[in-house]
Amino acid sequence: DDDPEAIRENRRAVTALAGSPVGFVHQVHGTTLLATTAADAEQRSTAGLGELPQADGQLTTEPGCGLAALTADCLPVAVAGAGGVAMLHAGWRGLAAGILERGVERLRALGVGGRLSAAVGPGAGPCCYEVGAEVHAAFAEEPARVHRGANLDLPAIAARRLLQAGVAEVHEIGFCTICSDRELFFSHRRDAGVTGRQAGVAWLT
């Protein structure tokens, strides 16, 4: 519900920082992934919310094609290998449904070989992410260490699932969006749903 011109200005700033068009999608907490070309990214960088395709991840094998995932407690996760990269939006629903495993599978299907690396960006941390029984139940097969009383360790779940999917190394930034400095990150939970979004961005050089 932000001012459309403010959104366009922020997107222009992200594009300038990346040095290439950055494509956005309308995220819906699912597992749909889109293969994105530079032309797609260019078109989606200026599209309005109602004009964006619904997806929670993008993949590309084209250099100079930026992929964005917008988050404000969910995890932005980048996965990269020789010749391809994915940018994934992983909240608890997406994690439970297998979006990370699907991202790795799709990268391999696009011909990305060799070692894969992943980066898990800032999101709701185990220090603050209190959830109900339904969410804990969705991760009942995870080790007990991710269930910290009423809290849940989403970054640990993400890292474990990436490694199980065949990613060779996983880097976690370790910042919690809820309790970190307000000047650093937006947080949907901390700000009672009225907040902005930060962008995780990945691209091939």
Q: Where are the beta strands (DSSP E) in 26-161?
A: 33-35, 57-60, 66-71, 75-82, 84-90, 113-120, 147-148, 151-152
Sign of dihedral through CA atoms 93, 97, 101, 102?
negative
**CA pair distance 183, 185, nearest whole angstrom:** 6
Residue 49: which pLDDT band, with cuts at 50, 70 and 90? confident
pLDDT of residue 45 exceeding 90, the answer is no
Phi–psi pair at 203, nearest 5 degrees = -160, 160
Percent of the chain at pLDDT > 90 equals 87
pLDDT of amino acid 5: 87
pLDDT of residue 170 exceeding 90, the answer is yes
Mean pLDDT of the chain: 95
pLDDT of amino acid 127: 97
Q: What is the mean pLDDT of residues 85-112?
A: 97
Contacts of 130 (CB under 8 A, 6+ apart): 150, 151, 152
**CA pair distance 45, 63, nearest whole angstrom:** 16
Residue 182: which pLDDT band, with cuts at 50, 70 and 90? very high
Contacts of 182 (CB under 8 A, 6+ apart): 190
- Determine the 3-state secondary structure of 181 from DSSP: coil
**CB 88, CB 25: distance < 8 Å:** no
Q: Exposed/middle/buried for 111, CB within 10 Å: 0-12, 13-18, 19+?
A: exposed
Residue 20: which pLDDT band, with cuts at 50, 70 and 90? confident
Q: What is the mean pLDDT of residues 159-173?
A: 98
Contacts of 32 (CB under 8 A, 6+ apart): 54, 55, 56, 57
pLDDT of residue 188 exceeding 80, the answer is yes
